[in-house]
């Protein structure tokens, strides 16, 4: 389905535009002719949305999800029709250290946004980003959308709660909400260096051994960020036209789970640096051993499927980090590494 016509001149509120997925969603919105309104809490000059000029082509509202009055004003004054809610505190270790800030952002922020939408009848479609973490630990895998939500630790609980709140707003008030639950995102633009893909890419480019916080056996889904952005756009567009999708959740995954050490191996292969063996620390508290998803519903109902296999996505990601680290002066501009 062509994206341009349904999005032309539509006011779309996007939270999390300076994040990894948000930057790619914002680019697709602009390419489709939409009129994005981005809620931005902090100035992040190295965020991809800033560096490539995406925010400069958008309306930017400065503020936080915890500011209810600001959300209500933004949706009303900019006559928002579609909301894509990606903003969250997404780092498990930060949630473990300071759960309150994570709960405020991920839970209160979500109900504030949904309540502001409830008070405006112009809103046609709201996509809320949940996570595979919302499912918690399960006796069998892969997760499908019928699994109960039972997060046990701060980050997981914040996603379970936000997910359930979104469903409650649909069932109680008829709000046009849909929910996404994705695996681990990777791709150009991720500057959270404690994540396995950006951290490993940076280490390799700096001629350093990559660090694995866990014992390396944790098994996860990894979804390339451009595939995820396409999924968000498809769901938001379809839900604006098809009421039967409201209240539904969709998993997005490439359905090819890997252990952390397998991912490091693939990155060594993509970069030609198999000589840089990882440092395995063996310490990652409150992590579920295995988490991976079935995307059968998204494939059947939305016609979505990933365009990039892991090796292709990692190759594209590596090229992005080469350029980025060169641009910020950490690499020689004529070479691939710092040595």
DSSP readout, 265-313? HHHHHHHT-TTS--EE----TT--SEE-B--HHIIIII----S--HHHH
Whether pLDDT at 338 is above 70: no
Q: Exposed/middle/buried for 121, CB within 10 Å: 0-12, 13-18, 19+? A: exposed
Whether pLDDT at 1 is above 90: no
Q: Are 315 and 244 in contact (CB under 8 A)?
A: no
Residues 48 and 231: their CA atoms lie apart, in Å, by 20
Give the residue from 56, 321, 80, 29 showing the smallest Cα distance to 204: 321
State yes or no: cis peptide before 142, omega within 30 of 0: yes
Close Cβ partners of 9 (under 8 Å, ≥ 6 residues apart): 33, 34, 35
SS3 335: coil
Q: How many CB atoms lie within 10 A of CB 68?
A: 15
Catalytic-residue membership of 155: yes
Work out the average pLDDT over 269-295. Answer: 92
Work out the average pLDDT over 34-40. Answer: 98
pLDDT digits (tens, 9 = 90+) for 258-268: 999 999 999 99
Work out the average pLDDT over 263-275. Answer: 95
Q: What is the dihedral of CA 199, 201, 204, 206, to 10 degrees?
A: -80
Q: Which of 155, 169, 232, 308 is catalytic?
A: 155
pLDDT digits (tens, 9 = 90+) for 193-245: 989 999 999 999 999 999 999 999 999 999 999 999 999 999 999 999 999 99
pLDDT digits (tens, 9 = 90+) for 93-104: 899 999 999 999
The overall average pLDDT reported for the chain is 94
pLDDT on residue 335: 39
Give the residue from 172, 85, 169, 175 showing the smallest Cα distance to 121: 175
DSSP 132: G
Work out the average pLDDT over 327-336. Answer: 61
The CATH number of the domain covering residues in 4-187+223-252: 3.40.50.720
Residues 205 and 193: their CA atoms lie apart, in Å, by 13
pLDDT on residue 5: 65
Question: Residue 55 — very low, low, confident or very high, per pLDDT cuts 50/70/90?
Answer: very high
Whether pLDDT at 129 is above 90: yes
Work out the average pLDDT over 111-124. Answer: 97
pLDDT on residue 126: 98
Q: Within the chain, where are the H helices?
A: 4-7, 20-31, 48-51, 68-77, 92-97, 99-103, 109-118, 154-173, 196-205, 225-241, 260-271, 296-297, 310-327
Question: Residue 8 — very low, low, confident or very high, per pLDDT cuts 50/70/90?
Answer: very high
Whether pLDDT at 151 is above 50: yes
pLDDT on residue 262: 98
Give the percent of the chain with pLDDT over 70: 96
Residues 337 and 271: their CA atoms lie apart, in Å, by 10
Q: Does the pTM of the predicted model rise above 0.85?
A: yes
pLDDT on residue 329: 81
């Amino acid at each position: 389905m062509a994206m341009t016509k349904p999005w032309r001149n539509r006011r779309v509120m996007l939270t999390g535009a300076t994040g990894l997925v948000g930057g790619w969603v914002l680019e697709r919105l602009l390419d489709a002719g939409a009129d994005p309104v981005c809620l931005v809490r902090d100035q992040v000059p190295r965020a991809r949305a800033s560096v490539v000029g995406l925010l400069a082509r958008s309306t930017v509202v400065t503020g936080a999800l915890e500011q209810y009055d600001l959300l209500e004003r933004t949706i009303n004054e900019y006559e928002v029709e579609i909301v894509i809610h990606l903003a969250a505190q997404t780092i498990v270790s930060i949630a473990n250290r300071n759960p309150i800030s994570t709960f405020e952002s991920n839970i209160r922020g979500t109900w504030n946004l949904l309540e502001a939408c409830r008070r405006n009848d112009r809103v046609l479609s709201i996509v809320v980003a949940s996570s595979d973490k919302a499912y918690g630990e399960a006796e069998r895998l892969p997760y499908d959308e019928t699994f109960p939500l039972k997060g046990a630790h701060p980050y997981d609980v914040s996603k379970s709660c936000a997910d359930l709140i979104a469903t409650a707003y649909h069932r109680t008030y008829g709000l046009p909400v849909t929910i996404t639950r994705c695996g681990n995102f990777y791709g150009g633009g991720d500057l959270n260096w404690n994540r396995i893909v950006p951290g490993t890419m940076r280490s390799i480019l700096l001629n350093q051994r990559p660090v694995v916080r866990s014992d390396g056996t944790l098994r996860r889904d990894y979804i390339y960020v451009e595939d995820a952005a396409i999924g968000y756009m498809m769901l938001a567009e379809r839900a604006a036209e098809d009421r039967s999708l409201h209240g539904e959740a969709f998993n997005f995954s490439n359905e090819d789970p890997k252990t952390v050490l397998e991912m490091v191996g693939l990155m060594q292969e993509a970069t030609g640096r198999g000589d840089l063996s990882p440092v395995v620390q063996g310490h990652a508290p409150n992590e579920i051993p295995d988490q991976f998803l079935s995307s059968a519903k998204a494939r059947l109902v939305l016609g979505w499927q990933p365009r990039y296999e892991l090796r292709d996505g990692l190759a594209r990601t590596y090229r992005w980090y080469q350029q980025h680290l060169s641009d910020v002066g950490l690499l020689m501009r004529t070479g691939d590494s710092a040595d």
